[in-house]
């Protein structure tokens, strides 16, 4: 079973590679490091670091040395973080250590969630039904955005040969909690957030129309819903079976229902293009959440396009974990990789016993691997929670 922890390069630089391996492999019982190799902005409280207790990473940068000739002539290109020059090429160090009996290496790769690139390339971001840009989300229908992500994964896999690449956000993103200092005086419901997240950029409109979809009708319907929610005195649900019913919650609006069915196509085809261009030796999996359809993810179709998925089980009791992983296994089939992801955050998880029960539920439901979040963000003592959860797993 693959047992990994999501980690940032600055964590490993601050604590040293030897200390990281001692923590993750020898103490926590893991066999893989999932290193952030493309990431967005944030503010991180770093309890483990002896030097920087708070860290602000550069927005929308990559944490590996790119291959310049691979990027010649491309419209959207990555920016290598200053961290690589200042702290070293951590990915290269991990790969070198792997050759000498070290841990396996997975590249945790943020794909389309990139505010820096969105600001630089506004013609390639998602846009709501009023045409307003979501600068934090490059659109999976944009040829230039697709080319950027495909080339990014091709570059890192052919240059570094990681065991796996974990694709975060190769899809449409939600409206809330993706930017900073967000203001909402309305009190958006979950369905409101979804409607505001739906993309009707020029690329999506053209791609949908080419597939025979009434994209204009769908956009008109969603514009009406957004205008209405902006005029309500207090929040009110229009679709009582959302999100449980999936896209069928919108079956009374045929153009919108068809558009929602179509929007899985750019996501699935993007993942397929990534898999085709990547080095064959690296497995390509997608990181997804419950109700992935909200972002245009059809897990069954994506499973055919790549090597599997990691489903995040954040905040879920064991019974919900069992259901999610069992559904994931059914969608992917028996031969694709299926991982489960857990935050070791308090109070989301309050004890080793609680974490053990959740991890055991995933394994019993058919998971092939477990990812824990996050090495530098949790206190050292919680590595023992991870160890206890791993030790309780049946041999595989």
Q: Do 367 and 295 share a domain, yes or no?
A: yes
Q: In the listed set 231, 262, 293, which residue is the last one of a domain according to the structure?
A: 262
CA 195 to each of CA 29, 185, 228, 293, 327: distance values in angstroms, whole numbers, following the listed order: 43, 17, 12, 13, 25
In a domain, 396, yes or no: no
Q: In the listed set 223, 244, 262, which residue is the last one of a domain according to the structure?
A: 262
> What's the pLDDT score for residue 187?
92
Query: Of 330, 326, 363, which is closest to residue 342 (Cα–Cα)?
Result: 363
Name the pLDDT band for 395 (thresholds 50, 70, 90).
Answer: confident
pLDDT tens figures, 201-226:
999 999 999 999 999 999 999 999 99
Count CA atoms within 13 Å of residue 9 on its CB side: 28
In a domain, 177, yes or no: no
What CATH code is carried by the domain that includes residue 14? 3.20.20.80
Q: Do 278 and 340 share a domain, yes or no?
A: yes
Rounded CA separation 166/140 (Å): 17
Q: Do 138 and 268 share a domain, yes or no?
A: yes
Q: Do 152 and 271 share a domain, yes or no?
A: yes
Query: Of 298, 294, 247, which is closest to residue 270 (Cα–Cα)?
Result: 298
pLDDT exceeds cutoff 70 at 154: yes
| Residues whose CB is less than 8 angstroms from the CB of residue 284 and which lie 6 or more positions away in sequence, other chains included | 153, 164, 165, 167, 271, 274, 275, 278, 306, 307
> What's the pLDDT score for residue 314?
97
**Residue 394 DSSP one-character state:** P
Sign of torsion over alpha carbons 150, 110, 12, 3: negative
Q: Do 164 and 304 share a domain, yes or no?
A: yes
Rounded CA separation 94/100 (Å): 10
**12, 88 in Cβ contact below 8 A?**
no
Mean pLDDT of the chain: 97
Range 103-117 average pLDDT: 98
In a domain, 178, yes or no: no
In a domain, 198, yes or no: yes
State the residue for tokens 């419209």. Answer: 75
Q: Do 242 and 271 share a domain, yes or no?
A: no
State the residue for tokens 């999932």. Answer: 34
Q: Do 125 and 208 share a domain, yes or no?
A: no
> What's the pLDDT score for residue 178?
67
Instruction: Please give the structure tokens belonging to residue 355.
Output: 């974490």
In a domain, 97, yes or no: yes
Cut 0.85: pTM above it: yes
**Residue 23 DSSP one-character state:** I
Instruction: Please give the structure tokens belonging to residue 14.
Output: 């601050």
pLDDT exceeds cutoff 70 at 389: yes
Name the residue range of residue 249's domain: 183-262
Instruction: Please give the structure tokens belonging to residue 10.
Output: 């600055």
In a domain, 150, yes or no: yes
Query: Of 39, 319, 48, which is closest to residue 166 (Cα–Cα)?
Result: 39
Q: Do 237 and 365 share a domain, yes or no?
A: no
Rounded CA separation 34/110 (Å): 12
> What's the pLDDT score for residue 181?
74
pLDDT tens figures, 229-256:
999 999 999 999 999 999 999 999 999 9
> What's the pLDDT score for residue 182?
80
Q: Do 15 and 153 share a domain, yes or no?
A: yes
Q: In the listed set 245, 262, 279, which residue is the last one of a domain according to the structure?
A: 262
Q: Rounded to 5, what percent of the chain is helix, strand, coil?
A: 45, 15, 40
Rounded CA separation 352/370 (Å): 15
pLDDT tens figures, 1-56:
999 999 999 999 999 999 999 999 999 999 999 999 999 999 999 999 998 999 99
Percent of the chain with pLDDT over 90: 96
Percent of the chain with pLDDT over 70: 100
Q: Do 306 and 274 share a domain, yes or no?
A: yes
Q: Do 272 and 255 share a domain, yes or no?
A: no
Q: Do 152 and 53 share a domain, yes or no?
A: yes
Q: Please tell me whether the peptide bond between 347 and the residue prior to it is cis, using omega within 30 degrees of 0.
A: yes
Our count of domains for the chain comes to 2
> What's the pLDDT score for residue 176?
84
Instruction: Please give the structure tokens belonging to residue 229.
Output: 């929610």
């Amino acid at each position: 079973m693959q047992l990994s922890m999501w980690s940032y390069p600055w964590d490993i630089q601050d604590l040293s590679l030897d200390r990281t391996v001692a923590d993750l492999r020898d103490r926590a019982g893991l066999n893989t490091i999932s290193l952030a190799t493309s990431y967005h902005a944030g503010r991180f409280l770093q309890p483990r670091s002896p030097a920087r207790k708070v860290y602000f990473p550069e927005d929308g940068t990559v944490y590996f040395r790119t291959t310049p000739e691979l990027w010649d002539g491309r419209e959207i290109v990555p920016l290598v973080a200053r961290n690589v020059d200042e702290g070293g090429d951590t990915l290269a160090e991990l790969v070198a250590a792997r050759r000498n009996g070290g841990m396996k290496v997975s590249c945790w790769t943020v794909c389309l969630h990139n505010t820096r690139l969105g600001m630089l390339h506004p013609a390639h971001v998602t846009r709501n039904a009023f045409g307003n840009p979501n600068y934090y989300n490059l659109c999976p229908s944009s040829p230039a955005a697709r080319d950027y992500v495909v080339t990014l994964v091709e570059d890192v896999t052919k240059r570094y040969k990681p065991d796996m690449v974990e694709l975060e956000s190769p899809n449409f993103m939600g409206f809330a909690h993706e930017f900073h200092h967000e203001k909402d005086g309305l009190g958006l419901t979950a369905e409101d957030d979804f409607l505001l997240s739906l993309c009707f950029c020029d690329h999506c409109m053209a791609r949908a129309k080419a597939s025979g979809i009434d994209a204009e009708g769908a956009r008109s319907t969603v514009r009406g819903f957004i205008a209405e929610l902006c005029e309500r005195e207090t929040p009110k649900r229009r679709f009582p079976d959302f999100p449980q019913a999936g896209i069928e919650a919108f079956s009374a609006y045929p153009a919108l229902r068809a558009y929602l069915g179509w929007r899985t196509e750019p996501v699935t085809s993007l993942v397929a293009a990534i898999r085709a261009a990547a080095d064959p030796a690296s497995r390509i999996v997608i990181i997804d959440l419950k109700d992935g359809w909200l972002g245009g993810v059809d897990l069954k179709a994506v499973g055919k396009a790549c090597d599997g998925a990691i489903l995040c089980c954040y905040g879920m009791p064991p019974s919900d974990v069992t259901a999610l992983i069992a559904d994931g296994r059914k969608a992917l089939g028996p031969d694709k990789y299926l991982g489960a992801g857990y935050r070791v955050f308090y109070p989301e998880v309050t004890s080793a016993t609680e974490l053990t029960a959740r991890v055991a539920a995933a394994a019993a439901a058919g998971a092939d691997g477990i990812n824990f979040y996050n090495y530098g963000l949790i206190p050292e003592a919680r590595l023992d929670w991870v160890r206890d959860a791993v030790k309780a797993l049946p041999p595989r």
